[in-house]
């Protein structure tokens, strides 16, 4: 079973996303802010992270920066969730280190397709059990 860390500060959004992800067969670990997400990522070694951009303590941009600077998680797929959906926001988000982008309100089919794209068979992910351990 693939593991996902879901970082989202809004409780209602976190519960809804957790429901979607769980129903799709993923083991989900949640975090309410970026610092907690970093802890959960190091603890669970997920296959993918779904991360809100606007979070307290450590925002999504700071979280993805920290992951990209850590050789253990430098290629861990991270999908940004954001209410920023203006022209250029997607490009800015992807240029900052995220692998995927989903604007809010979340379209569950689009999110699922993005997750499947990033976890497609044969695509190496840092979250696979062997890639985190030497």
> Would you state the structure tokens that stand for residue 44, as one six-digit string?
């669970």
Label residue 122 by pLDDT band (50, 70, 90): low
Look at residue 87 in the predicted model and tell me its pLDDT: 78
94 vs 121: CA distance, rounded Å? 22
pLDDT tens-digit readout, 79-98? 999 887 777 888 999 999 99
Q: Answer whether residue 107 shows pLDDT above 60.
A: yes
Residues present in the chain in total? 134
Look at residue 123 in the predicted model and tell me its pLDDT: 53
Please tell me the pTM assigned to this model. 0.88
Q: Which of 15, 43, 13, 44 is nearest to 27 (CA)?
A: 44
Contact criterion met (CB below 8 Å) for 42 and 66: no
Q: Which of 67, 81, 65, 57 is nearest to 127 (CA)?
A: 67
Question: To the nearest 5 percent, what fractions of the chain are helix, strand and coil?
Answer: 40, 20, 40
Sketch out the chain's domains with CATH numbers.
3-132 (3.40.50.2300)
Label residue 11 by pLDDT band (50, 70, 90): very high
């Amino acid at each position: 079973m693939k593991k996902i860390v879901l970082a989202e500060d809004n409780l209602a959004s976190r519960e809804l996303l957790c429901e979607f992800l769980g129903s799709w067969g993923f083991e989900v670990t949640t975090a309410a802010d970026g610092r907690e997400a970093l802890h959960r990522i190091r603890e669970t070694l997920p296959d993918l992270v779904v991360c809100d951009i606007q979070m307290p303590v450590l925002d999504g941009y700071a979280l993805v920066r920290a992951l990209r600077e850590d050789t253990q998680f430098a290629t861990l797929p991270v999908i940004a969730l954001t209410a920023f959906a203006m022209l250029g926001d997607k490009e800015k988000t992807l240029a900052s280190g995220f692998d995927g982008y989903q604007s809010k309100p979340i379209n569950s089919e689009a999110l699922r397709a993005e997750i499947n794209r990033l976890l497609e068979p044969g695509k190496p992910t840092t979250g696979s059990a062997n890639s985190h351990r030497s």
